[in-house]
Amino acid sequence: MKLLSLKGDGIGPEIVTATEQVLIAADKLFGLSLSFQTEVVGFDALAADGSTIPDRVITAARDADGIILGPVSHNDYPPLAEGGLNPSGTLRKKLDLYANIRPAITRDGITPPCGKSFDLVVVRENTEGFYADRNMESGPGEFMPDPDMALSLRKVTRLASRRIAQAAFDLAAMRSARHVTAVHKANVLRLSDGLFLEETRAVASQFPDVRYDEVLVDAMAAHLVRDASRYDTIVTTNMYGDILSDLASELSGSLGLAASLNAGTSNAMAQAQHGSAPDIAGQGKANPASLILSAGMLLDWGGRQLGRRELCRAAQAIEKALAEALQIPSARTPDLGGTGGTKKFTEAVMAALKST
């Protein structure tokens, strides 16, 4: 399995390196035949090539079996005309990574703010909606007709709605709860969210053994805070999914534990759900858990795509090893209430992995 590593900005290089170390350890244990190629994105690429994601990176990503993307500081990039593209959004669009799978799971050793255990996953449409950097074929999806007015366009299509619903029901059918909840705001956005619900209901009709319901997005935010264990697989449009998955992950214990996989038909990308945290970059305290878990999801996706069970077994072992490492306060990073750092936590994951 050929993996492309993109280290990004801020803490990106540190947590990508940690993730690679865990993957190499898993490779030795399970015989995965992993290989790594590295390309540069972010500020370093901007300085060297005039773009935060040069064309050669997109080509390399398309040719790879999987991509590992470190956090990027895209809010600080210059305008598009000066080369400041968002590498994450660009890759999602160029490779058609339409399904963003974001689990939120409470874990032993980490006290969840909500006080209850839960295990849910948000299945977020990833290529359109209100996201102006990816919802148009040419140009951004927002503009200013005059200096005092800014307009944003929201794009919702039948194709994107149907395939994200299909991804959600396929996933739910493999989970014990077998429950899908569609999140929307169709009482206000009657046409766009109405179209999304129409296609989701059509897919739901093909899965009689999966329970299906619908919840307004504002109500869902309140329900997650009250009792997230009521839900299993949440399917929704781009912006709602982005917000709700962050909320669910923080309720599970920390955004630093939030895995994220961007998947399409032929490509997939592991990406931490959190940002680049430039304020702690280079200090050795960055939490690599989110990206390690995301890389495990990438292995599982690759195993299913390529028919290689050893990749799926390695993914399960990484998940188990990380769960064990989280129970060691001296290994956990400070954001998780521990006294360790990036290196110590990574070593604890690898030690637990070797004992599986």
Q: Please tell me whether residue 6 adopts helix, strand or coil conformation.
A: strand
Is 170 an annotated catalytic residue? no
Averaged pLDDT score across all residues of the chain: 96
- Choice among 77, 131, 212, 231 that is catalytic: 131
Active site residue 242: yes
For residues 165-175, give the mean pLDDT: 98
DSSP 131-166: -TTTS-SSS-SEEEEETTEEEE--B--HHHHHHHHH
Find the catalytic residue in 44, 49, 246, 335.
246
Which residue of the set 185, 320, 335, 343 is catalytic? Answer: 185
| pLDDT confidence bin for 356, thresholds 50/70/90 | confident
Residue 40 has pLDDT above 90, yes or no: yes
Continuous segment of H or E residues that includes residue 50: none
- Would the pTM count as exceeding 0.85? yes
Concerning whether 231 is annotated as a catalytic residue, the answer is no
Give the pLDDT confidence of 63-80 residue by residue, as tens digits: 999 999 999 999 999 998
Residues 6+ apart with CB under 8 A from 81: none
| Residue 24 neighbours by CB under 8 Å, 6+ apart | 34
Band of pLDDT at residue 323, cut at 50, 70 and 90: very high
- For residue 257, give the nearest of 304, 327, 311 by alpha carbon: 327
